[in-house]
């Protein structure tokens, strides 16, 4: 099957100048693409730059370097009318549904607002019909339209946030930790809702989260991010069956296994130390200060982004063929 690219991100960087000569490298050269109709997950610890990457792609932050192509068009060169149309095509769902909804607006006002801004459904009756339809699409109903955000549970508020994101009939949605603030029992419901809407409306998602087990539920492919950089990228299945980067292996080892016998055998890789500061990242491999498999070369040379298996990319010296004589070191990393 030929996949059509919807989004191409090339060497994207977002640095923040903190003054006094300090530069915070929140996103430091990430490259990936997202195919039409798929869900691409970005996973990593808090502070790894995944949310900043999402916000830079949608244009909430100006990029420092690199480019973003949407449907083949460089979004940084769009003229104002094209930019307006682009903003219709790409929407965002935020982590905290309460903070992202205006507490003084009713649900119908919240969902209608983007339509009014974009001049859609100028007829009020038609607009309300659209609001009711969107409420139904996300599992709410028309009786909710005249209520205020505080009258809803966290899960319901996230549904309102999703309805608002759908109001302009977008092609692409960036979901930034959309379930992290919700109870575990509600998380699966929201993930199932997003999956259903994707199928019904042909949506493409960028799903950002710190919880690898939840990212797996929804993503076709996953990029693992550490300190502003991608360290591994492959299909969701491959990542779980054959994680190559020591950081991915550590993240996976933290996920409980539902089978009690297997769970008893689970060996957890505990990462030592805190995430280093993106203001002063380690030399060479940014993961080296916490990596259980670090070698001398890791301090002096930045590992290359290499395709180790088909569509499986890793940045780690353990897989340098010339360094290891062609050996597969993935199991070495896995057992350390
Ligand atoms: Fe660990 Fe070195 Fe690989 Fe970085 S390059 S992940 S420090 S082995």
Per-chain mean pLDDT for the chain: 90
Q: DSSP E strands: which ranges in 121-185?
A: 172-176
Q: Which of 281, 285, 334 to mutate to test the pocket of ligand 1 (most atoms within 8 A of CB)?
A: 285
**Tell me, what's the pLDDT at 286?**
96
Given this model, what pLDDT does residue 183 score?
Answer: 87
| Strand ordering across the sheet containing 90-93 | 90-93, 172-176, 204-209, 39-43, 221-226, 229-235, 312-315, 305-309
pLDDT confidence of residue 184: 85
pTM assigned to the model: 0.91
DSSP strands (E only) in the chain: 5-19, 22-35, 39-43, 65-70, 73-74, 90-93, 172-176, 204-209, 221-226, 229-235, 305-309, 312-315
Question: H or E stretch including 87?
Answer: helix 80-89
Does the pLDDT of residue 95 top 80, yes or no?
yes
Q: Does ligand 1 lie within 6 Å of residue 303's CB atom? A: yes
Give the residue extent of every domain in the chain: 5-241
Q: Which CATH number fits domain 5-241: 3.40.1280.10, 3.40.980.10, 3.40.710.10, 3.40.50.300?
A: 3.40.50.300
| pLDDT at residue 327, as a whole number | 44
End-to-end CA distance of the chain: 38
188 lines ligand 1 (CB under 6 A): no
Å from CA of 233 to ligand 1 middle? 16
Q: Which of 5-9, 79-83, 262-266, 321-325 has the highest mean pLDDT?
A: 5-9
The rounded Å distance from CA 206 to ligand 1 centre is 27
* 334 has a pLDDT exceeding 60: no
What is residue 1's predicted lDDT score, i.e. its pLDDT?
A: 65
Summarize pLDDT for 216-255 with one digit per residue, the tens. Answer: 889 999 999 999 999 999 999 999 999 999 999 999 988 8
């Amino acid at each position: 099957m030929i996949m059509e690219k919807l989004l191409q991100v090339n060497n994207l960087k977002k640095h923040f100048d903190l003054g006094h000569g300090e530069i915070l490298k929140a996103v430091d050269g990430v490259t990936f693409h997202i195919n039409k109709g798929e869900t691409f997950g970005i996973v990593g610890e808090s502070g790894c730059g995944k949310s900043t990457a999402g916000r830079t792609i949608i244009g909430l932050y100006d990029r420092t370097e690199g480019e973003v192509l949407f449907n083949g068009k460089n979004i940084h060169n769009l003229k104002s009318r094209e930019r307006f149309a682009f903003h219709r095509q790409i929407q965002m769902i935020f982590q905290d549904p309460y903070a992202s909804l205006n507490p003084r607006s009713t649900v119908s006002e919240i969902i209608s607002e983007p339509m009014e801004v974009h001049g859609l459904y100028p007829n009020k009756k038609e607009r309300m019909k659209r609001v009711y339809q969107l409420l139904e699409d996300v599992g709410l109903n028309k009786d909710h339209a005249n209520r205020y955000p505080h009258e809803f549970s966290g899960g319901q508020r996230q549904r309102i946030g999703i309805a608002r994101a759908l109001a302009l009939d977008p092609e692409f949605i960036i979901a930034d930790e959309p379930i992290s603030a919700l109870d575990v029992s509600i998380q699966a419901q929201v993930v199932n809702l997003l999956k259903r809407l994707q199928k019904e409306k042909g949506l493409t998602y960028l799903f950002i989260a710190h919880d690898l087990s939840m990212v797996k539920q929804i993503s076709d492919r996953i990029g693992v991010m550490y300190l502003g950089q991608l360290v591994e990228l492959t299909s969701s299945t491959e990542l779980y069956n054959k994680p190559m980067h020591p950081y991915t292996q550590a993240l996976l080892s933290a996920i409980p296994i539902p089978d009690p016998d297997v769970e008893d055998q689970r060996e957890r890789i505990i990462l030592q130390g805190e995430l280093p500061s993106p203001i002063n990242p380690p030399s060479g491999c940014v993961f080296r200060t916490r990596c259980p498999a670090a070698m001398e070369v890791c301090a002096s040379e930045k590992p290359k982004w290499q395709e180790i298996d088909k569509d499986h990319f890793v940045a780690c010296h353990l897989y340098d063929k010339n360094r290891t004589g062609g050996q597969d070191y993935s199991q070495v990393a896995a057992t350390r």
